[in-house]
């Protein structure tokens, strides 16, 4: 095995990805009419509390049974194949919406949505997790959540409502979302 | 038709200036360059090696209100984060790797091939994975409604491409060399010519978007976006090299750029177990 290679650095997505990265039904992991469709939505705001209208979010999740999906077809949705991955742009109010299925979890693990955030003014992507409201014992046993003091832990909790799950992302300041550095970064 | 300067000043979202600081677009390049140099001097004196860009980098004014102020939290990847989304030939057509044939006519500019390999931190090829690119045209203009730069749109060039990496991790795009373009971070600010690259690895944690630059660009030291990477050697990893073996007789020039993603944790044995 070769010794580790130094990584290529990241760079900002910039302002002009809007004609390149979004695509038809990018944020619809399932069609909105799917009987078990849920909505994952929220707002992205900056350090002044202003909406971030030029962010791009990506969602990656387990399927309802808690399994990893390895199906192609995310870029050309056929309406039937759940790929577990999608992409959503924020609008002028900083809002985003994914239509998806409720992710399952492995036994004794807490369920969450894995999210990547890109934006103009962000020199590198940010990773975070949106946990589903669920059994407190599962959340308390989660290694990440249990490592965080309560105000920070709360930033990783999505809020359940009739349409699905709300998860706001605060890039900076009061209520700043906890962003992640994985081992190896 | 409005004058170019009037168009530019009314382009709301093309304005990279900090919204709370209406003077920042009047800041001179000399001031920005001095800020860049001060940060780099501080970095060199620190003795710490930083391989990735700084999120908090004031010379790039848009970072000021958008960078997290708390340290990133260490997390051990859970199962979903040890896998990456899967893309295939259902997602990407081979023709999408040639940006010069998408519109029925020849785009204007220097036809070139950009090729290289996508590798993980252990040097293993990332196979069959999605690579997306986007770029300005030869005149430095993006086909984006918010790009108000008064340089012509090329009706034969969208500047968007996709491909899947081959079994050796290689990608290959045929395109036009992009031009530099002005932006509004400060007065007379110009981005060095670049191509945006979007990359996936074999694990979610390797997801990355970056920019590829061209060798010898005089704008490198003036550009606060490239300089968010404060380490000179790390910046060099964003610069392609001219490769005459990629150039083709009376057809195109050639550039080579290999991309190394952050290491991976899942071993090939895990993959076999899961297969």
Q: Please return the burial class of A10, using the count of CB atoms within 10 Å of its CB with bins 0-12, 13-18 and 19+.
A: buried
Q: Is the ipTM above a cut-off of 0.90?
A: yes
Please tell me the distance in Å from B244's CA to the nearest CA on chain A: 23
What mean pLDDT do residues A46-55 have? 98
Model confidence at B257: pLDDT above 60 = yes
CB distance A182–B123 less than 8 Å?
no
Q: In sequence order, what are the residues at sequence separation of 6 or more whose Cβ sits closer than 8 angstroms to the Cβ of residue B255?
A: B112, B113, B114, B115, B214, B240, B241, B242, B243, B246
Q: In sequence order, what are the residues at sequence separation of 6 or more whose Cβ sits closer than 8 angstroms to the Cβ of residue B48?
A: none
Q: Are A16 and B183 in contact (CB under 8 A)?
A: no
- The SS3 of residue B204 is helix
Query: Would you state the pLDDT for residue B270?
Result: 54
Among the listed residues B54, B144, B196, B241, the single catalytic one is B196
| pLDDT tens profile B35-51 | 999 999 999 999 999 99
Query: Would you state the pLDDT for residue A3?
Result: 58
Confidence band of A68 (pLDDT split at 50, 70, 90)? very high
Query: Would you state the pLDDT for residue B150?
Result: 84
Q: Pick B209's closest partner by Cβ from A5, A10, A180.
A: A10
Model confidence at A2: pLDDT above 80 = no
* DSSP annotation of B55: S
CB distance B196–A182 less than 8 Å?
no
Among candidates A56, A114, A122, which has minimal Cα distance to A89? A56
Q: Which of B22, B59, B75, B102 to mutate to test the interface with A (most CBs of A within 10 A)?
A: B75
Q: Which of A182, A183, A185 to mutate to test the interface with B (most CBs of B within 10 A)?
A: A182
| pLDDT tens profile B205-220 | 999 999 999 999 999 9
Structure-block tokens of residue A45: 């705001």
Catalytic (active site) residue B194: yes
3-state secondary structure A104-162: CCCCCCCCEEEEEEEECCCCCCEEEEEECCCCHHHHHHCHHHHCCCHHHHHCCECEEEC
pTM for this prediction: 0.93
End-to-end CA distance of chain A: give it in Å, rounded: 19
Catalytic (active site) residue B142: yes
| pLDDT tens profile A8-27 | 999 999 999 999 999 999 99
Query: Would you state the pLDDT for residue B103?
Result: 85
Please tell me the distance in Å from B1's CA to the nearest CA on chain A: 24
CB distance B79–A62 less than 8 Å?
yes
């Amino acid at each position: 095995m070769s010794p580790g290679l130094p990584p290529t650095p990241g760079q900002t997505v910039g302002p002009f990805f809007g004609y390149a990265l979004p695509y038809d039904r990018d944020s619809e992991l399932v069609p909105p009419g799917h009987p078990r469709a849920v909505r994952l939505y929220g707002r992205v705001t900056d350090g002044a509390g202003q909406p971030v209208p030029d962010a791009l979010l990506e969602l990656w999740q387990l399927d309802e049974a808690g399994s990893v999906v390895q199906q192609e077809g995310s870029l050309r949705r056929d309406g039937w194949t759940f790929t577990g991955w999608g992409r959503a742009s924020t609008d002028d109010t900083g809002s985003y919406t994914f239509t998806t299925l409720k992710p399952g979890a492995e036994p004794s693990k807490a369920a969450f949505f894995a999210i990547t955030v890109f934006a103009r003014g962000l020199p590198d992507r940010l990773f975070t997790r949106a946990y589903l409201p669920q059994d407190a014992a599962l959340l308390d046993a989660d290694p990440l959540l249990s490592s965080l003091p309560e105000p920070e832990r709360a930033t990783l909790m999505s809020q359940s409502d009739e349409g699905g799950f709300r998860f706001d992302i605060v890039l900076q300041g009061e209520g700043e979302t906890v962003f992640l550095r994985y081992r190896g970064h | 038709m409005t004058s170019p300067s009037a168009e530019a000043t009314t382009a709301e979202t093309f304005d990279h200036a900090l919204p709370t600081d209406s003077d920042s677009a009047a800041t001179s390049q000399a001031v920005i360059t001095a800020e860049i140099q001060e940060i780099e001097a501080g970095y060199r004196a620190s003795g710490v090696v930083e391989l990735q860009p700084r999120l908090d980098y004031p010379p790039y004014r848009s970072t000021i209100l958008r960078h997290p102020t708390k340290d990133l939290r260490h997390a051990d990847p859970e199962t979903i984060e040890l896998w990456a989304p899967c893309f295939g030939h259902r997602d990407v057509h081979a023709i999408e790797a040639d940006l010069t044939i998408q519109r029925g006519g020849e785009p204007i500019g220097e036809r070139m091939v950009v090729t290289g390999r996508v590798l993980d931190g252990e040097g293993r090829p990332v196979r069959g994975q999605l690579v997306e690119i986007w770029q300005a045209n030869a005149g430095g203009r993006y086909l984006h409604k918010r790009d108000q730069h008064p340089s012509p749109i090329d009706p034969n060039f969208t500047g968007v491409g996709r491909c899947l990496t081959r079994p050796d991790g290689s990608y290959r795009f045929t395109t036009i060399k992009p031009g530099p373009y002005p932006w509004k971070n400060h007065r007379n600010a110009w981005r060095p010519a670049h191509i945006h690259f979007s990359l996936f690895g074999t694990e979610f944690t390797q997801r990355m978007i970056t920019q590829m630059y061209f060798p010898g660009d005089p704008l490198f030291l003036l550009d606060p976006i490239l300089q968010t990477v404060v380490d000179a050697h790390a910046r060099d990893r964003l610069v392609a090299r001219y490769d005459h073996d990629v150039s083709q007789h009376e057809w195109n020039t050639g550039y080579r750029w290999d991309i190394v993603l952050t290491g991976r944790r899942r071993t090939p044995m895990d993959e076999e177990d899961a297969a």
